[in-house]
Chain A
């Protein structure tokens, strides 16, 4: 950055942001240390695709069909394609021209660069009473999560998008 600003930048970097409140730490502890227990704060509960209540069961026949087709394609392929590798040849003096090959899996070169969560539906499912007697709203939310990996060497990117449902318990606040 411009040298004219270096002193100001250094001074700003010395400023330490305020720590979150102890109440937030308590809420995080309730959400992360005992994830199964209902709490008086928003808690994410993931409804697995293996759950009988999940609508994602409707996708399983398509997934199985895709797997079968993929298996057929692989088993019937006449010439299997070798794995993609970076090959470096090192000549060795005094020997025949037999290359030495080092292999680097290309997949290792991809690094995650973003994780986005888009909320596309939210509905209030009404009031519920928690174990401690407080009232709370049960909110059902649908997200679309997109994770992106990028290969910094080739700038190729890979994105994975998956739907996710959350049920959040939000306490009723009195003002």
Chain B
């Protein structure tokens, strides 16, 4: 991933990473409002305390976003595991993606298929495709073996392909 220069403003960073952070946050929260709250908390923390650490900023930001989502769930006294909650609930809120040039039918089809994936598979798929993390980074993030992350990713793609019709050329 191409790093932004050190003197870049937070707006430039947020323009680049904000949409992807929000999409990932929505996998770990129950509503769009919750997702925006955790993105805000993580981004402010990153900008104030972690920006100078170097390395991959998106990986650090995603760690912070996931942690903030967990803290939020714990703060709301939800006793069951977060994955089970999110998996059991219908994800609330608006569209995941911007409209496509070729029409919104295809976008809606992909979103519906994505939302129907098991939580563990959807989480890995989103981190890989839009979070641009490697399997090793996903494994560290989720505390699972890298092979498990790769397997979940393949299962997710297989399920999506099964659900989606071929795009119109």
Contacts and interface: CB of A to CB of B under 8 A. Distances in A.
Contacts, number: 126
Interface of A: 1-2, 5, 8-9, 11-21, 23-25, 27-28, 31-32, 35, 41-44, 46, 111-119, 122, 145, 147, 164
Question: Secondary structure at chain B's binding surface: helix, strand, loop or mixed?
Answer: helix
Interface string B14-49: 100011101100000000000011011101110111
Interface size bracket, B side: 35 or more
A73 to B, nearest CB: 30
Given A16-B98, A31-B44, A44-B44, A112 B36 contact: no
A24 B157 contact: no
A112 to B, nearest CB: 4
B67 A5 contact: no
Given A44-B44, A111-B55, A20 B157 contact: no
27 contacts: A1-B154, A2-B154, A8-B157, A8-B161, A8-B164, A12-B129, A13-B129, A15-B98, A17-B20, A17-B130, A18-B23, A19-B98, A20-B18, A28-B40, A31-B44, A32-B10, A32-B48, A42-B40, A44-B45, A46-B49, A111-B55, A112-B53, A112-B60, A115-B64, A116-B63, A117-B45, A147-B53
